């Protein structure tokens, strides 16, 4: 760092000394409010705050997108406005600047021109990898492997930090039950508990044990709250839920994130019961900041403060600013509302300076925790940028994560695994040789066409004498943008008419012993704004599937997708189906590992797959209703034209071996509300291959002060069991697993009877019973 850039340090150090002397004795309320904070950092935060003018405080609450050239000539009035604000120290954060060189130059503008030289924090959407791309979050969640999920986030953080960035807008921990919703791909699916533990694993991966370490970044728990419950699965839509649904289903992952020390929260676009989440004071101030004693930074989602006008909740941006800041939204992402209106609102006594100070302190606190005040350029190391991104080591982990995320849905004739010395294999489908789709949406800096394709993966492992035929068969989409161009804002156009390539695909299918048919979705069919009213095979893929199956029954569907799909025809006809999601950089190699038996699949579904879209939203932990399902009566809570149950249920996934569950035992049949029960179960590998099984524990509270779900996941363990081996797996059932947010508006265990199941998916039938007494 140059001497010029260090001029700000003596001013801040002097202020810290003066503040420490002046405030050596503090009242008990302040001690209580900051008891879980680092006292040294708090002194530094307060010392800097004492030096700041109102315009500088407001500036810390402003975040700009940085898609501009910081060192070149201004290309628009907007760019010049940003530059002027940076020089005045009236910007707190930038996003979408993604290289050491660009970040260093942007930081330099602030450090060389602003009065107090408060460093910027730089953020970016690193959702499932930075340049080394891992499976989409929904796919990675199918691993049910918290260690590798944490590891992938850690590698993503390392690459992100090496590029000069300090903040990611992940993980998304929205419980998502509707396959029509495009952003279902970004979370851990339909279950509250699974979202909770996976979200915490990702937070620990991003943040490590020390935010000031140069290989860690600040995480962001999003979207607070209710975003995944958008009505009709339509993105940004209204959310209609009650208070008890909110507390029991949606909030637990966020509460766990706060407890885990997540650095930031992001509020959400939707309203809940008429109040936009961005302006929801109960959510942000009462629950998050007060009840949970969380001291981090809340950032708005992109433009969501201004969008409260379109909601009909704010008259104009000034009104929206007042609502958002009062509700506890600390930083304005790209609404340009705070910078334009906060000063006037303070002078009009509509926003207090104490509210401003509280928000600013949260921003400064994070910057101190990241070490940016010690060295604003600590993340700007060109050598680290060269050495820590897209390495062989990172790609090896990406392959490991990808193969563990694959779910075997069907293997009716034991077609899988395939031997490597077959005479011939046909690799067919619009996604078979696609090197871009496996990267999925939200691929950060993943390079266009950089993934290993299925065709490449197959060719790399089969015997040299095996003939590998390839035909695309059909085009999935009609190109509307140039390769590599940002497709985020472009609608997809599907090929609904051209079947001319099916004939050639059928001919190679006739010649092959086995057909690998790669079909599913375009990578941009899921993600933000990618909601659909249909969830089957788009375009003419179904025609290709039926034509191939007609001439060769040895078909393995390699399904690539970002949401649960309607694959009912395939499930009823095709012998083998492998759910491969969008697996990232090493996709083709990971799929080949599973196809040819080098890895025994162990993935389990984090979402239910429906028989058809009419079942959506679909989830396993439904309420029983007053008229439970019965195939003997029409007047029940089901359908007359389709099953009520899932095609493939939550937690489902096959293996190349088989597992038998037996001898579920409880060490007692009755406990007090604060007691615990030890549960054991025997699991035998009854097949011929070693394999991993995800052992799942489900509980039902039979009678409650509120109606309770028919079954809820409360724990799981992933265990390796050798062929012929039996293992005893143990669980502890305690108050944490039995409590819920009751009619008394608090978390508590209610006495009564409970059922408990252990098995390999949510339809587990091995059951025990116990009772909780006062």
542 vs 21, higher pLDDT: 542
Q: How far apart are the first and last CA of the chain?
A: 64
> Quick one: pLDDT band at residue 629, thresholds 50, 70, 90?
confident
Burial tier of 348 (Cβ tally within 10 Å: 0-12, 13-18, 19+): exposed
Please check the confidence at residue 566 and state whether its pLDDT lies above 80: yes
Q: Is residue 629 part of a domain?
A: no
Helices 192-207/146-162 angle, 10° precision: 40
- One domain for residues 415 and 372: no
Q: In what order do the strands lie in the sheet with 555-560?
A: 407-411, 576-579, 555-560, 514-520, 424-428, 467-471
Helices 353-369/39-51 angle, 10° precision: 130
Please check the confidence at residue 67 and state whether its pLDDT lies above 80: no
At residue 350, what are phi and psi to the nearest 5 degrees? -95, -20
- One domain for residues 357 and 407: no
Interval 674-724: pLDDT, tens: 999 999 999 999 999 999 999 999 999 999 999 999 999 999 999 999 999
Q: Is residue 225 part of a domain?
A: yes
Which of 446-460, 559-573, 605-619, 620-634 is the least confident region? 620-634
What mean pLDDT do residues 269-276 have? 97
Helices 353-369/317-327 angle, 10° precision: 70
Please report the pLDDT score of residue 547 as a whole number. 98
The 10 Å CB-count burial string (b at 16+, else e) for 707-721 is ebbbbbbbbbebbeb
Structural domain including 283 reads 56-384
* Cα torsion 230, 232, 238, 242: sign: negative
- Assess contact for 393 and 113: CB atoms under 8 A: no
Please report the pLDDT score of residue 505 as a whole number. 98
- One domain for residues 30 and 140: no
- Assess contact for 333 and 302: CB atoms under 8 A: yes
Q: Which residue among 357, 384, 411 closes a domain? A: 384
Q: How far is CA 476 from the centre of its chain?
A: 26
- Assess contact for 299 and 19: CB atoms under 8 A: no
Please check the confidence at residue 6 and state whether its pLDDT lies above 50: no
Q: Is residue 613 part of a domain?
A: no
Please check the confidence at residue 73 and state whether its pLDDT lies above 70: no
At residue 93, what are phi and psi to the nearest 5 degrees? -155, 150
Give me the number of domains the chain comprises: 4
Nearest alpha carbon to residue 288 among 207, 205, 212, 362: 362
What's the mean pLDDT when you consider all of the chain? 93
CATH of the domain at 473: 3.40.50.1700
Interval 630-671: pLDDT, tens: 777 777 888 989 999 999 999 999 999 999 999 999 999 999
Distance (Å, whole) CA 569 – CA 237: 31
- Assess contact for 679 and 728: CB atoms under 8 A: no
Distance (Å, whole) CA 231 – CA 244: 18
Which of 67-81, 367-381, 462-476, 654-668 is the least confident region? 67-81
- One domain for residues 89 and 43: no
* Four-point Cα dihedral 375, 377, 378, 382, nearest 10: -160
- One domain for residues 525 and 674: no
Distance (Å, whole) CA 90 – CA 165: 20
Burial tier of 281 (Cβ tally within 10 Å: 0-12, 13-18, 19+): middle
Helix runs in 169-306, H state only: 192-207, 243-245, 252-259, 281
What mean pLDDT do residues 529-533 have? 96
Interval 186-223: pLDDT, tens: 999 999 999 999 999 999 999 999 999 999 999 999 99
3 state SS of 218: strand
What 3 state SS string does 528-543 have?
CCCCCCCCCCCCCHHH
Q: How far is CA 752 from the centre of its chain?
A: 36
What 3 state SS string does 88-139 have?
CCCCCEEECCCCHHHHHHHHHHHHHHCCCCCCCEEEECCCCECCCECCCHHH
Structure tokens at 4: 């010029």
Beta-bridge partner residues of 224: 267
How many other C-beta atoms are found inside a 10 Å radius of the C-beta of residue 220?
Answer: 28
Please check the confidence at residue 107 and state whether its pLDDT lies above 80: yes
- Assess contact for 453 and 590: CB atoms under 8 A: no
Pairing between β-strand 514-520 and β-strand 424-428 as defined by DSSP bridges: parallel
Interval 23-56: pLDDT, tens: 333 332 222 233 468 999 999 999 999 999 999 9
> Quick one: pLDDT band at residue 66, thresholds 50, 70, 90?
confident
> Quick one: pLDDT band at residue 10, thresholds 50, 70, 90?
very low
Stated length of the chain: 774
E-strand spans in 20-90? 62-65
Q: Is residue 663 part of a domain?
A: yes
Please report the pLDDT score of residue 26 as a whole number. 31
- Assess contact for 293 and 324: CB atoms under 8 A: no
- Assess contact for 159 and 131: CB atoms under 8 A: yes
Please report the pLDDT score of residue 5 as a whole number. 43
Please check the confidence at residue 348 and state whether its pLDDT lies above 60: yes
Structure tokens at 529: 């704004």
CA atoms within 13 A on the CB side of 516: 31
> CB within 8 A of 234, min separation 6: which ones?
180, 181, 531
Distance (Å, whole) CA 468 – CA 516: 10
Max Cα distance, the chain (Å): 86
Please check the confidence at residue 225 and state whether its pLDDT lies above 50: yes
Interval 475-516: pLDDT, tens: 999 987 776 666 666 789 999 999 999 999 999 999 999 999
Nearest alpha carbon to residue 731 among 685, 686, 665, 673: 665
Distance (Å, whole) CA 378 – CA 161: 10
Nearest alpha carbon to residue 215 among 451, 381, 73, 76: 381
- One domain for residues 357 and 221: yes
Q: Is residue 632 part of a domain?
A: no
Q: Which residue among 608, 643, 676 closes a domain? A: 608
DSSP notation for 274-293: TEEGGG-HIIIIIIIIIIT-
Structure tokens at 396: 């090896």
Q: Is residue 370 part of a domain?
A: yes
- One domain for residues 498 and 567: yes
CATH of the domain at 130: 3.20.20.300
Pairing between β-strand 747-748 and β-strand 493-494 as defined by DSSP bridges: unpaired
> CB within 8 A of 168, min separation 6: which ones?
123, 124, 125, 126, 127, 156, 157, 160, 206, 217, 218, 219, 220
Structure tokens at 478: 């009609």
Distance (Å, whole) CA 590 – CA 595: 9
- One domain for residues 479 and 572: yes
E-strand spans in 396-453? 407-411, 424-428
Please check the confidence at residue 428 and state whether its pLDDT lies above 60: yes
What mean pLDDT do residues 252-280 have? 98
- One domain for residues 537 and 494: yes
Structure tokens at 727: 């293992």
- Assess contact for 324 and 303: CB atoms under 8 A: no
Give the active site residue among 178, 191, 301, 715. 301
* Cα torsion 78, 263, 523, 542: sign: negative
Please report the pLDDT score of residue 83 as a whole number. 93
Please check the confidence at residue 138 and state whether its pLDDT lies above 60: yes
Which of 73-82, 201-210, 383-392, 461-470 is the least confident region? 73-82
Q: Is residue 21 part of a domain?
A: yes
> CB within 8 A of 510, min separation 6: which ones?
551, 552
Please check the confidence at residue 156 and state whether its pLDDT lies above 50: yes
Structure tokens at 652: 């489902």
Please report the pLDDT score of residue 25 as a whole number. 31
Q: Which residue among 384, 407, 424 closes a domain? A: 384
Q: Is residue 477 part of a domain?
A: yes
Question: Is residue 301 flagged as an active site residue?
Answer: yes
- One domain for residues 200 and 147: yes
Interval 568-608: pLDDT, tens: 999 999 999 999 999 999 999 999 999 999 999 999 999 99
- One domain for residues 44 and 94: no
Nearest alpha carbon to residue 320 among 308, 312, 310, 328: 308
- One domain for residues 356 and 406: no
């Amino acid at each position: 760092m140059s001497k010029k850039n260090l001029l700000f340090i003596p001013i801040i150090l002097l202020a810290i000394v003066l503040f420490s002397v002046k405030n050596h004795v503090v009242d008990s309320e302040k001690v209580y409010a900051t008891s879980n904070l680092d006292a040294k950092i708090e002194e530094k935060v307060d010392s800097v705050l004492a030096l700041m003018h109102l315009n500088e405080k407001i500036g810390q609450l402003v975040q700009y997108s940085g898609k501009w050239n910081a060192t070149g000539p201004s290309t628009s009035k907007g760019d010049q406005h940003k530059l002027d604000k940076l020089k005045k120290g009236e910007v707190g954060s930038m996003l979408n600047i993604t290289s050491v060189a660009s970040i260093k130059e942007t930081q330099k503008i602030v450090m060389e021109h602003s009065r107090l030289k408060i460093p910027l924090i730089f953020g970016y959407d690193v959702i499932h990898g930075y340049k080394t791309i891992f499976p989409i979050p929904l796919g990675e969640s199918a691993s049910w492997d918290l260690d590798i999920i944490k590891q992938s986030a850690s590698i993503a953080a390392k690459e992100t930090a090496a590029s000069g960035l300090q903040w990611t807008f992940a993980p998304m921990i929205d419980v998502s039950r509707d396959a029509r919703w495009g952003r279902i791909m970004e979370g851990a699916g339909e279950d509250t508990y699974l979202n909770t533990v996976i979200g915490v694993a990702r937070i620990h991966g991003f943040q490590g044990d020390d935010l000031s370490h140069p290989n860690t970044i600040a995480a962001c728990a999003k979207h607070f709250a209710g975003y995944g419950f958008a009505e009709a699965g339509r993105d940004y839509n209204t959310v209609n839920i009650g208070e008890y649904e909110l507390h029991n289903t949606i909030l637990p992952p966020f509460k766990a994130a706060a407890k885990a020390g997540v650095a930031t929260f992001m509020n959400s676009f939707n309203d809940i019961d008429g109040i936009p989440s961005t302006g929801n004071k109960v959510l942000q101030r009462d629950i998050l900041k007060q009840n949970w004693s969380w001291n981090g930074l809340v950032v708005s989602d992109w433009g969501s403060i201004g969008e409260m006008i379109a909601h009909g909740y704010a008259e104009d941006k000034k009104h929206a600013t007042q609502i958002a800041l009062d509700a506890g939204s600390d930083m304005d992402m790209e609404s340009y509302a705070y910078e334009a209106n906060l000063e006037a609102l303070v002078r009009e006594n509509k926003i207090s300076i104490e509210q401003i100070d509280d928000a600013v302190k949260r921003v400064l606190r994070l910057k101190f925790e990241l070490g940016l005040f010690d060295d604003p350029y600590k993340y700007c190391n060109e050598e680290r940028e060269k050495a820590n991104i897209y390495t062989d080591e990172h790609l090896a982990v990406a392959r490991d994560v990808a193969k563990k995320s694959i779910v075997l849905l069907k293997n009716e004739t034991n077609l899988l695994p395939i031997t490597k010395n077959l005479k011939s294999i046909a690799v067919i489908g619009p996604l078979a040789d696609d090197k871009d789709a496996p990267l999925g949406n939200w691929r950060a800096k993943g390079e266009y066409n950089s993934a290993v394709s299925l065709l490449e993966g197959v060719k790399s492992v089969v015997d040299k004498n095996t003939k590998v035929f390839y035909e695309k068969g059909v085009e999935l989409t009609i190109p509307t943008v140039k390769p590599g161009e940002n497709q985020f804002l472009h609608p997809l156009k599907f090929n609904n008419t051209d079947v001319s390539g099916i004939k050639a695909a059928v001919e190679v299918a006739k010649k092959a012993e086995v057909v690998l048919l790669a079909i599913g979705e375009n990578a941009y069919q899921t993600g933000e704004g990618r909601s659909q009213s249909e969830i089957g095979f788009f375009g003419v893929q179904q025609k290709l599937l039926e034509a191939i199956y007609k001439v060769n029954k040895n078909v393995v569907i390699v399904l690539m997708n970002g949401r649960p799909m309607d694959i009912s025809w395939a499930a009823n006809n095709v012998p083998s189906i492998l759910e491969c999601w969008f697996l990232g950089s090493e996709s083709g190699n990971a799929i080949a590992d599973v196809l040819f038996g080098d890895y025994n699949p162990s993935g389990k579904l984090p979402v239910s797959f429906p028989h058809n879209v009419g079942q959506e939203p679909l989830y396993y932990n439904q309420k029983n209703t007053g008229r439970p399902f019965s195939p003997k009566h029409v007047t029940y809570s089901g359908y007359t034209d389709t099953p009520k149950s899932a095609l493939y249920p939550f937690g489902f996934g096959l293996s190349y071996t088989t597992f038998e569950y037996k001898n579920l035992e409880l060490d007692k049949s009755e406990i007090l509300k604060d007691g615990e029960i030890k549960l054991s179960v025997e699991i035998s590998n009854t097949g011929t291959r070693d394999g991993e099984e995800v052992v799942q524990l489900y509980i039902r509270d039979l009678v409650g002060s509120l109606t309770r779900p028919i079954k809820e996941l409360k724990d799981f363990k992933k265990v390796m069991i050798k062929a012929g081996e039996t293992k005893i797996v143990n669980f502890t059932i305690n108050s944490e697993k039995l409590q819920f947010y009751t009619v008394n508006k608090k978390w508590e265990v209610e006495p009564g009877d409970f059922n408990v199941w252990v098995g390999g998916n949510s339809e587990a039938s091995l059951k025990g019973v116990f009772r909780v007494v006062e």
